[in-house]
Structure 1
Amino acid sequence: MAGDHDAPVTSPDQHKPANMKALRIGAVVSAIILLLMTMGNHEGKVEDIFLALSAAGLILLLIVDWVLRRNGLRS
């Protein structure tokens, strides 16, 4: 606890991720990779459903982010 008073005081807006564009590109690439993983030598469809839902979740988050940025609610 002795070092807590030495920490600089910062506002929450100073803690933004470094590059949001890179994060968005990474989410798109991850969704594509998840969908490509459905093509394989597995017999069950549970894996395919899980991968497709995971990719859809990423895409949904990207769409929500895009709508919020378009409406000026997020930078």
Structure 2
Amino acid sequence: MASTDVEHTGGHADVIDTGWRREPADAPSARFGWFGSATKTFYGAAIFFAAFLLLMMIGNHTGHVEDLWLIAFAVGVLYFVVRGWWMNRGKWS
């Protein structure tokens, strides 16, 4: 039966130079090339979703309760976009 022990060599032997920085050999980016989140894509999708929510107010409904919910959700989505942008404004992307 195969052993389940992990071999640790120590030193720099278990570090892979990926070009950007030296990472441990068990880091996902060392095996797959890149990992992270596509922040600009998420922001763009959130802004599109908020605009879509606001555009759904145009319709044949007579009550305004639906409008208030749509506005509340759109403001919530935009809050997270602005908050994320504000928190990451000084970081290098």
The amino acid of 1:16's aligned partner reads: G
After superposition, the C-alpha distances for 1:13-47 in whole angstroms (9 at most, x for unaligned) are: x8633x21111100000000000000110011111
Of Structure 1 and Structure 2, which has the larger fraction of its residues in strand?
Answer: 2
CA RMSD of aligned residues (A): 2.4
Of Structure 1 and Structure 2, which has the larger fraction of its residues in helix?
Answer: 1
TM-score scaled by structure 2? 0.58
**Alignment partner of 1:47 is 2:70:** no
**Alignment partner of 1:58 is 2:74:** no
Paired residue total? 65
Q: Which runs of 4+ in 1 moved over 3 A?
A: none
Higher relative contact order (CA 8 A, sep 6+): 1
* Gaps in structure 2 of 5+ consecutive residues: 5-25, 29-33
* Gaps in structure 1 of 5+ consecutive residues: none
**Structure of greater Rg:** 2
